Amino acid sequence: MPKGSILVVDDEAEIREGLSELLTSEHFQVTLAETGAAGLQKLEEQPFDLLLLDVSLPDRNGIDMLREVRQRDPNLAIILITAFGSIDMARAAFKSGAQDYITKPWNNDELIAQVSLAVEGRRLREENVQLKRALKQRYNFPNIVGKSEKMLAVLDLVAQVASSRSTVLVSGESGTGKELIAKAIHSASPRADKAFIPVNTGSIPVDLLESQLFGHVKGAFTSAVASKKGLFEVADQGTIFFDEISTVSPETQAKLLRVIQEREFMRLGGTETIRVDVRILAASNEDLRKLVREGRFREDLYHRLNVISIHLPPLRERKEDIPLLVDRFLGEFCRENSKPPCRFTDAAMKILIDYDWPGNIRELENAVERAVVLSTIENMGVDLLPESVRSREIVKGVHLQLSEFLPPLPGEIAGQGAAPPPALFEILEEVERRLIVDMLERTHWNQTEAAERFQVPLSTLNQKIKRLGIETRRRPAAPRDAAFGYGENGGAEFAAGK
Ligand SMILES: Nc1ncnc2c1ncn2[C@@H]1O[C@H](COP(=O)(O)OP(=O)(O)OP(=O)(O)O)[C@@H](O)[C@H]1O
Ligand SMILES: [Mg+2]
């Protein structure tokens, strides 16, 4: 089976034939066109995964053609072919939606890598569209994005438990979507048109929590100048959601247990028993079982809450969801910032997929928002990703298009501030630093082994470490931003938007 279908539009026969031979030998299906008009005709006739387009065609300006093609098929991957020296032109093309460009003469291996990445990117984008449709049909949880088996299993469970009144405990690392799932349970339940009351138990001072939850009567305490309903009463007929339940004090835990068991309570200072019909949901990013074992959480309350448990897997265990999530967030933030629809380059997308996301979906959401806000072009490159994300991945030897690390031209990236673009030697130094740190990480900071693997004398490696100011002690794994020592006090900050 061919790896993908490619249309080559170039007026030079030699180029067309050279590309055809190379790409065919790599199992791509290749179609050739000599002019812009012929190329457009071919695009009408059959679908392609990738267009390799010469920027200077006899009958058409390549950029105009690019815009036209892009309008017809927003997912088509496009790589420009440009003569050496017309990098400016290629940059303009990049802004109009090409993924990448190659300069003549090209290096075969690099070209194949670029083409494969672009075709793969196209496949992902197409797959997203189809999956979004499929997901819509399966459930109606418009705010929840996910196609991974793990996420679909979560959604199955949400759909199953929604209609009952059972208490549900949602667990998962920070930023995995616990509150989102709690809201989805409420929205899919018969209580959907009643209140959903989230209570962030961690952020309410202990002595206030009880009066917030149960209300109080006038005079119950010094500042209680009037009677007040508690959140349990406000949530009557609806759902109450205890976020960060692990932070509740032992006394409040006892009272909560009673409400869950009896569905009744008294206001602080009151004598009247109030009955409510409330569904209780709770979330925790700490392992409650462990807290029970340590005597920090009541075992009986834990069992009451954990009637049904839904665990949200960390994002790194469901990487298939990343492109879909990115897509969703791009749409949201472009609209919010009144920007035209934008997307990430394939290289940037690959980094987003490969990164481990310790802060899970919230971290990803923030990274996308940051890129959208900082970018002035529709095709957002690696330079718009946060330093922590980029530096983690560059050292893994991910295929990167180094051209994206070039200092931007004036007006290309907004928000650069006053920082002058880095010089070439600073960029090279930074790359060198990252490679050395990565190797040291891999060899557990054994410099002799690192020098051997780099095939340089130990003294050379030593000198470089000193010159680049690399700290040779093993660094703590978190926080990520500091893991490699770049940034604040590390060397050159060569990408814009930091
Ligand atoms: N599957 C998803 N689809 C779309 N957006 C999501 C998804 N999961 C999480 N989000 C978004 O990610 C952000 C974090 O989600 P949420 O607040 O529900 O996480 P959390 O697990 O409660 O985090 P914390 O433990 O820090 O409170 C929210 O903006 C949420 O809308
Ligand atoms: Mg939360």
How far apart are alpha carbons 245 and 262 in whole angstroms? 19
Among 121-130, 133-142, 248-257, the range scoring the smallest mean pLDDT is 133-142
Distance 239 CA to ligand 1 centre (A): 19
Residue with CA at minimum distance from ligand 1 atom 30: 177
Residue indicated by tokens 């460009």:
101
Of ligand 1's listed atoms, the one at least distance from the Cα of 145 is: 3
Lowest mean pLDDT among 72-86, 159-173, 221-235, 298-312: 72-86
Phi and psi (nearest 5°) for 30?
-115, 135
Q: Which ligand is nearest to the CA of 359?
A: 1
Which pLDDT belongs to residue 420?
Answer: 59
Tell me phi and psi for residue 78, to 5 degrees. -130, 130
Q: Which residue has the tokens 């005079």?
A: 219
317-333, pLDDT tens digit by residue?
A: 999 999 999 999 999 99
Q: Which atom of ligand 1 is nearest to the CA of 328?
A: 4
In this predicted structure, the answer to whether residue 415 has a pLDDT above a threshold of 50 is no
Helix axes 424-442, 458-467, angle to 10 degrees: 120
Q: What band does 422 get if pLDDT is binned at 50, 70 and 90?
A: low
CA 495, CA 419: separation in Å to the nearest integer?
10
Backbone φ, ψ for residue 142 (5° rounding): -60, -25
Going through 319-363 in order, the beta strands assigned E by DSSP cover 343-344
Determine if ligand 1 sits within 6 Å of the CB of residue 365. yes
| pLDDT for residue 475 | 47
Specify the residue with its C-alpha closest to ligand 1, atom 15: 177
Q: Which residues contact 219 (CB under 8 A, 6 or more apart)?
A: 269
Phi, psi of 326 (to 5 degrees): -60, -45
Please enumerate in sequence order all residues whose Cβ is within 8 A of that of 81, keeping only pairs 6 or more positions apart, or say none. 10, 15, 52, 53, 54, 55, 101, 102, 103, 104
Assess whether pLDDT exceeds 70 at residue 498.
no
Mean pLDDT: which of 208-212, 312-316, 343-347 is highest?
A: 312-316
Question: 416 φ, ψ to 5°?
Answer: -75, -15
pLDDT at 136: 54
**Binding site membership of 176 for ligand 1 (Cβ less than 6 Å):** yes
CA–CA dist 78, 99 (Å, integer)? 6
Residue 50 · residue 118 · CB < 8 Å: yes
Counting ligands in written order, the one closest to the CA of 361 is 1
Domains and CATH numbers, the chain: 5-132 (3.40.50.2300), 149-312 (3.40.50.300), 320-482 (1.10.8.60)
Residue 17 contacts by C-beta under 8 Å, 6 or more apart in sequence? none
Residue 149: closest CA among 316, 320, 308: 320
Stretch 83-111: mean pLDDT, rounded?
Answer: 76
Q: What is the pLDDT of residues 12-63, one digit of tens each?
A: 999 999 999 999 999 999 999 999 999 999 988 888 999 999 988 888 887 7
pLDDT digits (tens, 9 = 90+) for 295-308: 999 999 999 999 89
Smallest CA-to-CA distance from 253 within 288, 217, 221 is with 288
Ligand nearest to the CA of 362: 1
Structure tokens at 132: 């979004």
Q: Whose CA is nearest to atom 23 of ligand 1?
A: 175
- Confidence at 483, pLDDT banded by 50, 70, 90: very low
> What is the distance between the alpha carbons of residues 108 and 124, in angstroms, rounded to a whole number?
24
Protein residue closest via CA to atom 16 of ligand 1: 177
Q: Which residues contact 324 (CB under 8 A, 6 or more apart)?
A: 128, 131, 132, 145, 146, 147
Q: Enter the tokens of residue 458.
A: 């130990």
Q: Is the pLDDT of residue 485 over 50?
A: no
Asked whether 406 and 494 are in contact (CB, 8 A), the reply is no
Nearest ligand by distance to the CA of 242: 2
pLDDT band at residue 497 using 50, 70 and 90 as cut-offs: very low
- Distance (angstroms) between ligand 1 centre and the Cα of 362 equals 6
What pLDDT, on the 0 to 100 scale, is given for residue 400?
Answer: 45
- Of the pLDDT bands very low, low, confident and very high (cuts 50, 70, 90), residue 409 is low
DSSP secondary structure string, 229-274?
E-HHHHTTTSEEEEETGGGS-HHHHHHHHHHHHHSEEE-BT---EE
CB 84 within 8 A of CB 283: no
Average pLDDT value for residue range 347-363: 91
Secondary structure letter of residue 107 according to DSSP: P
Q: Is 178 near ligand 1, meaning CB less than 6 Å away?
A: yes
* pLDDT averaged over every residue in the chain: 82
Confidence of residue 414 (pLDDT cuts 50, 70, 90): very low
Q: H/E element holding 447?
A: helix 447-454
In angstroms, what is the span from residue 22 Cα to ligand 1's centroid?
45
> In percent, how much of the chain has pLDDT > 70?
84
Neighbouring residues of 277: CB distance < 8 A, sequence distance ≥ 6: 236, 237, 263
